[in-house]
Amino acid sequence: MLHADEWSARRLGYRFRDPGLLEAALTHRSASRTNYERLEFLGDSVLNFAIALLAFRTFPDAPEGDLSRFRAALVSSPTLAAIGSELDLGDQLRLGGGELKSGGFRRDSILADSLEAIFGAIYLDGGIEAARDVVHRLLGERLRELPSAETLKDPKTRLQEELQSRGFALPKYTLEEVGGEPHEQWFVVSCAAVDLALRATGRGSSRRRAEQEAAQSVLEALGRAQEKS
């Protein structure tokens, strides 16, 4: 397995002046009080700026709404986790014993959070241009391969627009259940399209994600109903 410094140079195209920043970005809270959480907070803003700039330049005629959807698709946890997996980021993570046993090095939320922390660490180490270049190198091709902005509308937006276009009431979301440890919670939310007697539940690591999953299930049920009619 590559040393962290060599891994960063080869896989990210960036060599740290201060290896301590990289070490912190790779350290989960279960392993040390000095971990990636603060760097993740910073890296989230760095990532959003870098992707906003890239989308602005790549699609010069796109309206603000489309640019926002492109950015949202790229900065989402599933996208970041996929990139982290491709980079073998899990092999570099420092995890506590419990997280190691439970496969934390493969967990999407940890991969995504650590990658954001790395972006924050690069910003502190080399400045905004260095961080921007790494983000563009890792996500640029994905941006160019994205489907149309209309397709990228999230399930909640698409369900709301579909119901409104047919004169029906807006969907109702209800938090049904919350579980898990404080730092690894999960949520179950129901979504009901009352006028159509359709209801589904979704589960996610945040209430918003659970709502999106539930809305997607209602959209799929609505599509099946339309096919039968």
Per-residue pLDDT band for 175 (boundaries 50, 70, 90) equals very high
Segment 10-69, tens digit of pLDDT = 999 999 999 999 999 999 988 899 999 999 999 999 999 999 999 999 999 999 989 988
Please check whether residues 14 and 97 belong to one and the same domain: yes
Rounded CA-CA distance 126/188 in Å is 41
CA 205 to chain centroid: 11
Please check whether residues 141 and 172 belong to one and the same domain: no
- In this predicted structure, the answer to whether residue 78 has a pLDDT above a threshold of 90 is no
In this prediction, residues 168-194 reach a mean pLDDT of 91
Please check whether residues 85 and 55 belong to one and the same domain: yes
Please check whether residues 184 and 139 belong to one and the same domain: no
Could you say which DSSP state residue 229 is in? -
Whether residue 138 lies inside any domain: the answer is: yes
Please check whether residues 13 and 108 belong to one and the same domain: yes
Please check whether residues 9 and 122 belong to one and the same domain: yes
**Could you say which of 145, 171, 202 is where a domain stops?**
145
pTM score:
0.72
Please check whether residues 206 and 176 belong to one and the same domain: yes
Q: What is the pLDDT of residue 229?
A: 64
Whether residue 150 lies inside any domain: the answer is: no
Check which CATH number belongs to the domain holding 104 and give it.
Answer: 1.10.1520.10
Please check whether residues 51 and 25 belong to one and the same domain: yes
Per-residue pLDDT band for 213 (boundaries 50, 70, 90) equals very high
Please check whether residues 62 and 82 belong to one and the same domain: yes
Check which CATH number belongs to the domain holding 182 and give it.
Answer: 3.30.160.20
- The number of domains in the chain is 2
Segment 84-138, tens digit of pLDDT = 999 999 999 999 888 777 776 778 889 999 999 999 999 999 999 999 999 999 9
Domain residues for the domain of 164 are 155-228
In this prediction, residues 133-152 reach a mean pLDDT of 88
Buried b (16+ CB within 10 A) or exposed e, 20-39: ebbbbbbbbbbbeeebbeeb
Residue 203 · residue 214 · CB < 8 Å: no
State the average pLDDT for the chain.
91
Catalytic (active-site) positions: 44, 116
Please check whether residues 17 and 127 belong to one and the same domain: yes
Please check whether residues 219 and 122 belong to one and the same domain: no
Please check whether residues 99 and 174 belong to one and the same domain: no
